[in-house]
Amino acid sequence: MAVLTSRGCPFDCSWCSKPTFGRSFRQHSPERVLRELQLLQQRYRVDYVRFCDDVFGIQRAWLESLLDAMEAAHLHIGFECLARVDLLKADLLKRMRGLGLARVYVGVESGSQKMLDLMNRGTRLAQVERAAQSLRENGIRQFWFLMLGYPGETVEDIDATLRLFRRFSPEEYSVSIAVPIPGTRFYDSVRQYLKVGVRPRRANRGGKTLLYEGSYPESLYHWAQARFEWEAALSKARGKIAPRILSGLSDAADRLDRSLVGPILLGPRAIPGGAPRHLRPTPGPTAERPSTGA
């Protein structure tokens, strides 16, 4: 059951489309949210909800009040939410786990700080690492959103994302090729390089289409997506196959990438040092962080 506690988001990621609310943000009171949860549980026997806010619990004080209210009302209900790594503090996660938090969707996006900055994401890799570690320690499932092909990304940045993915092995993930949406700074930066007549394709685990003339051919991103799939499969096999064999299989994929598939797919499109100048957007104007009380 979906529950919405707020509308809008004050952050300013360069690729995020926010035609309705812009950067405005407003939310229900914690008391109102509690009443809604109680109603769902008592009248409709709902025992699990998904907080589908763009970002759940943006203001720490608001979230603490909601948790206080849930605790005081002895409300036991499973829940999941979308959140940013910079808001997922260890103490908060522990408390939320105790109140029913089972899964968090997190926009990790990239394992390269350079890419996070180009996206104006406003997050640090250290925050990703701390959040992933805390989620794991608290037994909360993590679903990572990852993005490939954003302007300025090199194969080294893709490798950094894969290494991060390997380190933390999220239970679920989606790895998409970046989609420039009209009205965003990302779109403006590539609009004159859009491929004519190309429509987005989707597969189970994310977007499959490169919609503009990017740094590399689309097939390279498909190969990268396959490498994530491979790592996820190896991670699922932990406990069933000896670690030495799993690590060997992971290394074999790396060798295949370095010695054969990577060079073939890159071919003459290999761009030493990164994307051409026209694909290097400057970070957005607002690297400042909205106040969250965190």
Site of interaction with ligand SF4 (CB under 6 A)? 9, 11-13, 16, 54-55, 84, 107
Q: Which residue is nearest to ligand SF4 (CB)?
A: 16
To ligand SF4, the closest distance from the beta carbon of 17 in angstroms equals 8
Amino acid found at 27: Q
Could you give the CA distance from residue 60 to residue 292 in angstroms, rounded to a whole number?
Answer: 6
User: What is the total residue count of the chain?
Assistant: 294
**Which residue's CB is nearer to ligand SF4, number 147 or number 210?**
147
Closer residue to ligand SF4, CB minimum distance, 17 or 235: 17
Handedness of CA 216, 222, 223, 227 (dihedral sign): positive
| Nearer Cβ to ligand SF4 (179/234) | 179
Smallest gap, in angstroms, from Cβ of residue 21 to ligand SF4? 10
In terms of CB distance, is 9 or 211 closer to ligand SF4? 9
72 close to 22: Cβ distance less than 8 angstroms: no
Q: Shortest Cβ distance from residue 254 to ligand SF4 (Å)?
A: 30
Give the span between the Cα atoms of 113 and 159, in whole angstroms.
Answer: 13
**Residue 140: strand pairing partners:** none
Q: For ligand SF4, give the closer residue by CB, 2 or 196.
A: 2
- DSSP state letter for 181: P
Residue 226 beta carbon to ligand SF4: minimum distance, rounded to whole angstroms: 26
Q: In angstroms, what is the minimal distance from the CB of 31 to ligand SF4?
A: 25
The one-letter code for the residue type at 146 is L
β-strand pairing of 6-8 with 25-27: antiparallel
Which residue, 9 or 116, has its beta carbon nearer to ligand SF4? 9
Least gap, CB of 86 to ligand SF4 (angstroms): 10
| Nearest one of 174, 165, 153 to 82, comparing CA atoms | 174
Cβ proximity to ligand SF4, 22 vs 248, nearer residue? 22
- Least distance (Å) from ligand SF4 to the CB of residue 107? 6
Query: H-type helices in the chain, by residue range?
Result: 30-44, 60-72, 90-98, 113-118, 125-137, 155-168, 185-190, 218-236, 243-256, 262-266
